[in-house]
Amino acid sequence: MDKKKNILMVAYYAPPYGAVGAVRITKFVKYLLKLDWNVTIITVKEKYYTKYNWEWLNDVNGAKIIRTDIAKYHVPGLNEQGFYWIRHLKSAIKKELKKNIYDISYWTGGPFMHWSVAAWTKKKYGLKYVLDFRDPWFLSPYSKNTKALKIRNYIYKKVENKVIREASLVINVTEEATKLYENYYSTEPGEKFVTIYNGYDLDDFDFTAKSSKDKTLKITYTGKFGHFRDPRPFLQAFKQLIKIKNITDDLIKFVWIGEQEGHVITEINNMGLQNYVDLKGFIPYNEAMKVLSGSDYGLLIAGNHPFEPTTKIFDYLAINMPIIALVNTEGFITRTLSNVKYTYVVKNNKTDIYALLLNIYENKITIPEASEKMDSSGIFDRQKLTNKLREELLRLI
């Protein structure tokens, strides 16, 4: 029998952190444990989190978890948690590697600045490492590149360049993001850059909620809009539908699950949609999935870059929920949904959205049968995705 493999996984966000930043590490750990790997997670103490999902600790039960402090000082202009973790992380790794031997290490971000420790660990202990970008870092097109941030961005560039060149493998969550890094670091071997998607874990969903839907048509959005996803065209089209069809607020609802953002709340209030919008605020992932399971349509609003790795798409696919995708740029979302039934992709403008909403309201849009699977191939199942990670790790080991 093959000897168990030992992996050291470094993640600033890990259970019981309750937001999306901890999902990927949680599910990789869960299924690596099922594949009979020994897993050690180095992360920060729970007190440094602001959102919690204690149920995710069940997923990583069996892993050894080492929790550290972070530095208390603050450097103006460098608001990057990983930077303040470096000293304590390095100390924890020193102690752990004196006692135990690992086959490989895995680092997920953001934050990213503590990745400098990965290169140090390789040099000092000879431990190969894998980098997992949940989002691009220095290369992110959404990063602000102003004069005031020039020094910070220079530091980010230097650190990213160093850790990628020393890495054995660089993972991104979309082909578009992988290509972004492959092209920028073109002197590195192409096989260093791979794609492992985000996905869904069927254990997270309460499929009985579908049978308890009421007469209200619910269109649900999960997560933040941020500065690059524009909800105004949807809200305008939603208001137009309500007005033209004279719909009362007990028959239709826009449900928003996620941390409330002032500029979006202002738009909702200015349009007089308060009674038609159900603001759930931030709720733990498992609760959010129960709300989602009782909804009719899942809403996606994309930014304007093709790599965008939105995770909600996978939750919607797992629940077999028809998807309304508002996308202005061809890329990961349009490519992923192009072969999926019951997904409706339109431009993010009031006219196109209204036409789609009208068809939905007048029941001209089909929905999945109970026995159908929107992700019929199961390629986004977290268990299969962890199998792919395992294969890559074994290749390196």
- As given in the structure block, the two tokens for residue 362 are 């007048």
- Residues 245, 385: one domain? no
Q: How far is the C-alpha of 316 from the C-alpha of 373, rounded, in Å?
A: 11
Is the pLDDT assigned to residue 211 strictly greater than 60? no
Structure tokens at 253: 């609802």
Q: Is the pLDDT of residue 213 over 80?
A: no
64's enclosing H/E stretch is strand 64-68
Same domain, 126 and 28: yes
**Co-location of 126 and 212 in the same domain:** no
- Give the predicted TM-score (pTM) of the model: 0.90
Question: 61 with 77, same domain?
Answer: yes
In a domain, 372, yes or no: no
Residue 371 in any domain: the answer is no
Q: Are residues 260 and 353 in the same domain?
A: yes
What is the mean pLDDT of the segment spanning 217-230? 90
What's the mean pLDDT in 330-355?
Answer: 90
pLDDT value at residue 151: 85
Same domain, 125 and 239: no
> What does the pLDDT look like over 127-172, one tens digit per residue?
999 999 999 999 887 666 666 688 888 999 999 999 999 999 999 9
In a domain, 320, yes or no: yes
Residues 49 and 146 both lie in one domain: yes
Strands 277-281 and 169-172: unpaired
Q: Where is 325: in which H helix or E strand?
A: strand 323-326
| Residue 376 within a domain | no
Residues 195 and 241 in one domain: no
For position 373, what pLDDT does the model report?
Answer: 79
Phi-psi region of 53 (alpha: psi -120 to 50; beta: other; left: phi over 0): beta
CATH code at position 334? 3.40.50.2000
Give me the domain span that covers residue 162: 6-199+381-396
Helices and strands of the chain, counted as H and E runs: 13, 13
Domain count, the chain: 2
Co-location of 133 and 39 in the same domain? yes
